[in-house]
Structure 1
Amino acid sequence: MTDSDQPKRIGRIDRRKFIAGVGAGVATGLAGCLDSFNAPSNNSDNGSSGGNNSGGGSEGLLTFAQVKSPVEFDPVVLNDVPSDQVASLVFDPLYQFDKGGTNLVPRVAAKKPEVEKGGKRYIVELNTDATFQNGDPVTPEDVKYTFTAPVKEETENAGDFSSIKTVKTVDDSTVQFDLKYPFGAFDSYLAADIVPKSVRENDKKKFNTKQPIGAGPFKFAGWKEGNFVRVERWDDYWGDQKPNLSEIKFVPVEEGTTRVTTLKSGENDIIEEIPPKSWNTVKSISGASINSVPGVGYFYLAFNCNKGPTADPKVREAVDYTFSMDQAVSNFVEPTGIRQYSPLPEALASEWDMPVKKWKEIPHDKNIDKAKSMLDDSDNVPDNWNANIIVPPDDKREQLGTTVASGLKEAGYNASVQRLDWGAFLDKYVSGDPNDYNMYTLGWSGSPDPDSFMYFLFSQKEEGVGNGTFYRNDTVEKAITDARRSTDQNKRRKLYEKAITTLLEDRAHLPAYNLKNSFGVKSYVKDFTAHPVSSFSMVSGYNNVSVEK
């Protein structure tokens, strides 16, 4: 699910939630990060499995083909998956997700947080060995700065930390988070990459694009935007797991079949995001295989519920009758992705014991006669209606929009599909103006907590930011808010079940699919692991990539 464009709206959208590129875009875990996932961390065809050696013994160079070029590297502000994929190697987070993406484990932190005041206070003790690459220790002040800078600077990651009231340094190794309210998903927001306050404050521009300094296992070694990024092993890395690889070179290869060709030729050792039509091609490459795992994402068709014909739920239901989502996903997404029937990825919904079987019964099969009858009978649909469907620059989402348009034309109504560049799309899809759109296709990458999907996609507070539906239902809004402000998982489950069922029945969204984090991997690359939250893992407590040519 390596969605590498992943831009986000100015405001409160986290890059790890907003899916905006060619794939599904789960980057290293910050907000809500996939802790409730049961999916295996390695659906590898080559048998690559996690190891646990001390590392540091291989001089291997690994070349990795990304879908897009990184553009910046400061975790406080960076805005795209390719950049984050690199930054996640240079910086270490306070906590990270384990192999299966189900639990948080300490990284810069020394142990799990102590939770007090009914979930309103989190106390985190730091690992006193944690050190930045310039030799400075990682201090509570650095952690405080990391969590407060986005809000102070009004960066696009500010929403991740909006529940925080204050952050205090208790002593030389302890930091205390006090929240505005008990927030059931806050622990997953602790998976933030820690930055050195003094270095970043000295020159933010240099820190972002020329000399990022973190506490991670690799040091930034240089880059040329649109051409390459290099990171080198930090031989003095403070962690237990020293990298095997001496260097990783990331190169952008935007066109999918070209990426596959570079894997076959050996020009690249790993390629990300295998196109659906190239899946079998990669499987058949001698000396290579596919390493994949379902990510924590959600792709969908959304309606403008603010104004225009689609503000009428009966019109939205009629559109549902114009095509078969099952068939569309089969045609355009599989085997790169899987059908999804709610805003929650299937593994997350299963972990929370959600009524997925009931939700699967809500969408309609294709019935053009029924669609035509409902549209013809609606006073809100003009006879000359030309439905406007906008899509981002991604083939799968464009094909979904085209499928809907074809069904509407079969029902006797015109429809047009506008494929927009990301800038234009992001401006339009949150305007609420029916002249801009009646429907749009998009996606979202979240964490292993329902909050990361429900709040940012459906809360009325996020209208014009990440919520372009303008769907307004006070009961749904209250359920989302109440679930967010509770630490009782059973209570939260019931609230989310109620909200999701109503949203599906009212068809604010038509859920479509989830993508896999998929990679083509040469057989001489050992121990590489696709990850449901972090896209992939190079060096961790359960794996350490090496190149053995």
Structure 2
Amino acid sequence: MRREHTQRISRRKVLAGGAAGASLLLAGCTGGGDGGDGGDGGDGGGGPTLYFSQVKGPLDMDPVVINDVPSAQIAGQIFDGLYEYGDGVGLEPKIAAEMPTVERDGTRYIVPIREDAEFQNGDPVTAEDVIHTIRAPVEEQTENASEVDMVDSAEAIDEHTAQFDLSYPYGAFTIAMVRNVVNASVRQEDTEAYNQEPVGSGPYQLVEWEPEDYATVERWDDYWDGDNLPEIASIEFDPIEEQTTRVTELETGNVDIIETIPPQLYETVEGNENASVTESPGVGYFYLAFNCANGPTSDPLVREAVDYCFSMDQAIENFVEPSGVRQYAPYPSSISEEWDFPIDEWSDIEHDQDIEEAQALFDEAGVSMDYDWRIIVPPDDMREQIGVSIGDGLQNAGFENVQVQRLDWGTFTEAYQSDDGPNSADEYNMYTLGWSGAPDPDTFAYNLLSQEVDGVTNGTFHGYDEASAKLTQARESADREERRRLYIEATTTLLEGRVHIPAYNLNNSYGVRNAVEGFSSHPISSEIQLDGATVTR
């Protein structure tokens, strides 16, 4: 029985009244025991239920197409990865028997597959499943295809050995193989059905979910990796977007874990005697991006004028800290430190607020004071506040027509990815967004700043051809020093051109009830590691 949360009572009553057909009920996924606790957190015969509050609900359940954190968090319980992250950002084999053998100057990867790995329908996990998992994004042109588009060919050497040949020696390919392995034969029969009723090999089975809303998973007692069978019998994932409600639900004990502690309520959670905060610096990046193709922001002078209109430092201090930290580059500090990037130099590029200098640059660029500015933001309070700070700065500079529009995720994504973006400034002049990447600079630089992903994950449509070419060169090099030089040169050009104004990085923070033991935050936001966690009431 699903627990009724404060903001969802009416919907739950509707479901109880016979409208459950709106959700997806998956036959044949029985999990372990009764998978519930009667809504009171009791043992229920199969062990406790963990109530986990996400910031937003899942969009997909097929790892091939998943491109959002909430979906990945849930899918990570249903599927096992070829390789997975340990407690930090180090990699460990899971479906793979060991780390890959690398040959041919970094262009051939040979991956051994465990012979005991099994899907929840009884099928063995084979090399063909692994190959389909890696190749499908490119073949189907999914939004995350760029993560594996360097694979030129793949071959099953035998049932438990997969070989990947790359078009170039991609230095982050082992990280690219941190992917949940799908059942190729079942998925290829009907990809849409697989997204609704996935067949995974992980410790939990999906039993019920509603897109953009909740999901329930139950322990698979026949899990092939029995030594790592979790103690928690079931997990209910529920999105609570409203920040205060999320914290209230933790305080009342209606949920066990809440994700992303809002800055204005940080002390409230810390002061809760029945809960504690666990957090890790995330491998992420939040930023302001400009429409560099059309409208006034196609002029670098105007983008610099916008920079003078407001203080990003002050905005982060007001609206993000202590939930996050100021960031001056498209790379989280862990990557910048590991690669010895010139953060001090990059931090000097941004300006402090100077309205007179902004007005002078707007005047030099010939921007009319009657211009209608449009800043779009996703449904996120912190990113909205960054947009409002910029809008206030434009008004202080003398513009009266400034819109900061908070859009739902679908509308927002269509706007910044739309073909109209580079052709019409009516779509947006600026947008605020974030990216959760992997611990390699390519996963940020290429996906957010390369011209090769214009209209996919890069909505700036900038014209810095040489810088974009350097990002491609870095992507296709196995020489770390060459990659570092290329990233520094390209990033410096793009920051000086203010394609992005870096903003902040969030800590991956969670409020955790004392009843939960063995759970801790992880640097990768899509990772929820519950293998050793328990819930006691």
TM-score, normalised by the number of residues in structure 2: 0.87
Which of 382, 405, 425 is the aligned partner of 1:396?
382
Q: Which moved more, 1:456-465 or 1:199-208?
A: 199-208
**2:354 aligned with 1:367:** yes
Q: Which residue of structure 1 lines up, in the alignment, with residue 75 of structure 2?
A: 87
**Structure 1 residue 281 and structure 2 residue 268: aligned?**
yes
| Equivalent-residue separation in structure 2 for 1:397 and 1:224 (angstroms) | 26
Counterpart AA for 2:505? N
Aligned-partner Cα distance in 2 for 1:183–1:426: 29
Supply the distance in 1 between the matched residues of 2:142 and 2:303 (Cα, whole angstroms).
Answer: 35
Change (3 A) 1:98 1:227: closer
The correspondence for 1:156, drawn from 140, 143, 146, is 143
Distance 1:207 1:387, change over 3 A: closer
Distance 1:227 1:388, change over 3 A: closer
- 2:289 aligns with 302
- Please state whether the residue corresponding to 1:331 is helix, strand or coil: helix
Q: Structure 2 residue aligned with 1:235, among 221, 226, 229?
A: 221
Distance between the aligned counterparts of 1:289 and 1:535, measured in 2? Answer: 21
**1:63-462 pair list within 5 angstroms:** 63-101=51-89, 103-210=90-197, 212-225=198-211, 228-239=214-225, 240-379=227-366, 381-414=367-400, 415-430=402-417, 431-432=421-422, 433-462=424-453
Say yes or no: does 1:513 pair with 2:504: yes
1:14-45 CA distance string (max 9 Å, x none):
xxxxxxxxxxxxxxxxxxxxxxxxxxxxxxxx
Q: Distance in 1 between matches of 2:460 and 2:101?
A: 38
Deviation, 1:96, is 0.8
- 2:25 alignment counterpart: none
Larger helix proportion, structure 1 or 2?
2
Q: Deviations over 1:429-464 (max 9, x none)?
A: 241222222211111121111111111111111122
Q: CA deviation at 1:157?
A: 3.0
Tell me the CA shift for residue 226 of structure 1. 6.3
CA drift at 1:58: 8.7
Are 2:146 and 2:447, in contact at CA under 8 Å, matched by a contact in 1? no
Task: Mark the runs of 5 or more structure 1 residues left unpaired by the alignment.
Answer: 1-56
Structure 2: how far apart are the matches of 1:283 and 1:121? 49
Q: How much does 1:194 deviate?
A: 0.5
Q: Structure 2 CA distance, aligned partners of 1:390 and 1:229?
A: 29
2:471 aligned with 1:483: no
Q: CA deviation at 1:353?
A: 0.7
- Distance in 1 (alpha carbons) for counterparts of 2:48 and 2:373: 54
1:512 is paired with a residue of what secondary structure? strand
Q: Distance in 2 between matches of 1:207 and 1:350?
A: 41
Aligned to 2:41: none
The range that moved more, 280-289 or 155-164, is 155-164
Q: Identify if the C-alpha distance between structure 1 residues 360 and 174 changes in structure 2 by more than 3 Å, giving closer, same or farther.
A: same
Given the superposition, is the C-alpha separation of residues 349 and 483 from structure 1 closer, same or farther in structure 2, using an over 3 Å criterion?
A: same
Q: Is the 8 A contact 1:298 1:445 kept in 2?
A: yes
Taking CA–CA contacts closer than 8 Å with sequence separation of 6 or more, which of the two structures ends up with the larger relative contact order?
A: 1
CA distance in 1, matches of 2:191, 2:361: 56
Q: Distance in 2 between matches of 1:200 and 1:468?
A: 31
Cα deviation per residue 1:496-523 (whole Å; 9 max; x = unaligned)? Answer: 0111111111111110011121111011
Partner Cα distance (1:226, 1:484) in 2? 34
Give distance in 2, aligned partners of 1:227 and 1:407. Answer: 36
1:203 CA drift (Å): 4.1
CA distance in 2, matches of 1:67, 1:322: 31
- Aligned with 1:341: secondary structure? coil
Change (3 A) 1:537 1:425: closer
Which residue identity does 1:413 align to in structure 2?
A: F
Whether the 8 Å CA contact 1:517–1:535 is kept in 2: the answer is no
Give the alignment's Cα RMSD to 1 decimal. Answer: 1.9
Q: Which amino acid aligns with 2:395?
A: K
SS in 1 for 2:521: strand
Partner of 1:12: none
Query: What secondary structure sits across from 1:442 in the alignment?
Result: strand
Which blocks of at least 5 consecutive residues in structure 2 are unaligned? Answer: 1-44
Taking the aligned partners of 2:192 and 2:526, their CA distance within structure 1 comes to 27
Larger mean CA deviation between 412-421 and 163-172 belongs to 412-421
Deviation at 1:382, TM superposition (A): 2.4
Contact 2:308–2:353 (Cα < 8 Å) also in 1: yes
Moved more, 485-494 or 382-391: 382-391
| Pairs aligned (count) | 487
Q: Do 1:217 and 1:243's aligned partners in 2 also have CA atoms closer than 8 Å?
A: yes
Q: Which amino acid aligns with 1:81?
A: V
Contact between 1:58 and 1:546, CA under 8 Å: does it hold in 2? Answer: no
SS in 2 for 1:254: coil
Percent identity for Structure 1 against Structure 2: 51
Which has the larger displacement, 491-500 or 125-134?
Answer: 125-134
d(CA) in 1 for partners of 2:410, 2:47: 41
Kept in 1, the 8 Å contact 2:129–2:184? The answer is yes
Q: 1:369 to 1:225 in 2, by over 3 A?
A: closer
Q: TM-score, normalised on structure 1?
A: 0.85
Deviation, structure 1 residue 225: 5.0
Deviation of residue 227 (structure 1)?
6.1
| Residue identity opposite 1:107 in structure 2 | K
CA distance in 1, matches of 2:323, 2:430: 24
